[in-house]
């Protein structure tokens, strides 16, 4: 028996450094106000589409965690387990981070 599954990939909302066109990489930068709004909007869209999840995976970065939390809150699914792992962090840009 095959069970159908749906994988949803959601990038974090705009960060403060995205706003300034700065490489973030692993630098832990918060979401901008626009990024918070984008996360909530993503939650509304997924809720309107009838999507429901069993688990959420995110990086260790604040912007990704905040995006997940805001999205889940909008979907009224804040109770879901959120698993965090460094391997989901963005690319590490080394000395280019912050430029």
Q: Give me the pLDDT at residue 24, please.
A: 86
Q: What local confidence, expressed as pLDDT, does residue 83 receive?
A: 97
pLDDT of residue 43: 97
Q: What is the 3-state secondary structure (H, E, C) of the chain?
A: CCCCCCCCCCCCCCEHHHHCCCCCCCCCCCECHHHHHHHHHHHHHHHHCCCCCCCEEECCCHHHHHHHHHHHHHCCCCCCCEEECHHHCCCCCHHHCCC
- Specify the pLDDT at position 98: 80
Ranges of the chain with pLDDT below 50 = none
Angle at 28 between CA 26 and CA 29, to 5 degrees: 120
What pTM does this model have? 0.90
At residue 18, the pLDDT reads: 87
Distance CA 18, CA 30 (A): 10
pLDDT of amino acid 41: 98
Q: How many Cβ atoms sit within 10 Å of the Cβ of residue 47?
A: 15
Structure confidence at residue 71 (pLDDT): 97
The two structure tokens encoding residue 16: 């403060």
Active site residues: 12, 90
Q: Please say whether the dihedral angle defined by the alpha carbons of residues 73, 75, 76 and 78, taken in this order, is positive or negative.
A: negative
């Amino acid at each position: 028996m095959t069970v159908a599954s749906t994988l949803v990939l959601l990038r974090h909302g705009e960060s403060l450094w995205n706003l300034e066109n700065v490489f973030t990489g692993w630098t832990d930068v918060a979401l901008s106000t626009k990024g918070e709004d984008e996360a909530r909007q993503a939650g509304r869209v997924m809720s309107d589409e009838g999507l429901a999840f069993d688990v959420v995976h995110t990086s260790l970065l604040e912007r990704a965690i905040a995006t997940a939390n805001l999205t889940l809150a909008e979907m009224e699914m804040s109770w879901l387990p959120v698993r965090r792992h460094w391997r989901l962090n963005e690319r590490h840009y080394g000395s280019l981070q912050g430029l």
